[in-house]
Amino acid sequence: MRAITVPTPGGPEAMLLADVAEPTVGDRDVLIRITAAGVNGADLSQRRGHYNPPPGAPEWLGLEVSGEIAAVGSAVFEWAPGDQVCALLAGGGYAEFVAVDAGLVLPVPPGVDLVEAAGLPEVAATVWSNVYGHAQLRPGETLLVHGGSSGIGSMAIQLGVATGAHVITTAGSAEKAAFCRNLGADVAIDYTQQDFVEVVADATHGTGADVVLDIVGGDYLERNIRALAREGRIMEIASRRGPSTFDINHLMMKRGLIWATTLRARPLAEKVAIIAEVREHVWPLLESGRVRPIIDSVFPIEDAAQAHIRMESSRHIGKILLQVR
């Protein structure tokens, strides 16, 4: 089969479409004939040589896919060949086929296009496990989402609104801020023009945000603490601005919590549990239309380099996808 490989880490040009061995299907695996794959920040880090796949995962890129089941393992009874699905992966999505544990597979929600479904598993699992699993966001609380126009950000805004939270978000332009407001955000901050700490204080009458979902890191951590409500929870899920430093006294005065997580490296059992919760809580919102996939663009897999260039430009709004077939 064909897959996007990275023989030598580097820029987008380092990715090559090459022939690789087809995956082996284990007893609890399903084999997916891939229709589309999501492009994520982790893919860019791996391409640069900074984020190796966990042991046992395919070495090529790709953390989520959609497609049709081609075969199932001998111990799989909940799925059958021909089912249209999407799945969370530890790697291997930029390819024609992938084998994945059956517990990481989700049905394509009614009303969602099969290609667009490739942009759901990673963001849904990331947002649900952090904002609702760890941070335990409750109705009526304030959720601060950084990068609201990103794939993760757009999912977080929609879930926050659907579950009764007050949503404040940051974005990198007036256009992106308007997009976030159209998704339902109560307040959308253009961080190139406004200080989000000040705006959060004004919007919450000095109370602060109960939960912060941060995909930026670096110097944002100290500012997140200043924007935090008492007994607030900060979920750090990426670090794009270098090392993070903060004054522990500021956090202690807020009686706050900082929780740093990744999804890809979690044990299989934990990821299976997260996917089960996503199916129970998020999928009904997708089926009803209250939450929808936000797609920026779709590139043929042969143009994976252009997809990465698009993501690195930060001009995108929503998910970037690769169409395999």
Q: pLDDT tens digits, residue range 15-62? A: 999 999 999 999 999 999 999 999 999 999 999 999 989 998 999 999
Q: What is the pTM of this model?
A: 0.94
Instruction: Assign residue 226 a region (left: φ > 0; alpha: ψ between -120 and 50; beta: otherwise).
Output: alpha
* pLDDT given at position 19: 97
For 124-260, give the CATH class: alpha beta
Token representation of residue 76? 């799989």
Measure CA of the first residue to CA of the last residue in the chain; give whole Å: 13
Q: pLDDT tens digits, residue range 75-109? A: 999 999 999 999 999 999 999 999 999 999 999 99
Sheet holding 166-171: strands in order across? 187-190, 166-171, 142-145, 209-214, 228-236, 257-260
pLDDT band at 241, cuts 50/70/90?
A: low
For 2-120+264-323, give the CATH class: alpha beta
The answer to whether 260 and 238 have CB atoms below 8 angstroms apart is no
3-class secondary structure, 22: coil
Domain boundaries, the chain: 2-120+264-323, 124-260
**Contacts of residue 116, Cβ cutoff 8 Å, sequence gap at least 6:** 36, 66, 293, 295, 321
Q: pLDDT tens digits, residue range 246-286? A: 788 888 999 999 999 989 989 999 999 999 999 999 999 99
Distances in Å between the Cα of 12 and the Cα atoms of 176, 184, 264 are 25, 34, 22
Per DSSP, helices labelled H in the chain are 41-47, 121-127, 151-162, 174-183, 196-203, 220-226, 248-254, 268-281, 283-288, 304-313
Q: pLDDT tens digits, residue range 128-186? A: 999 999 999 999 999 999 999 999 999 999 999 999 999 999 999 999 999 999 999 99
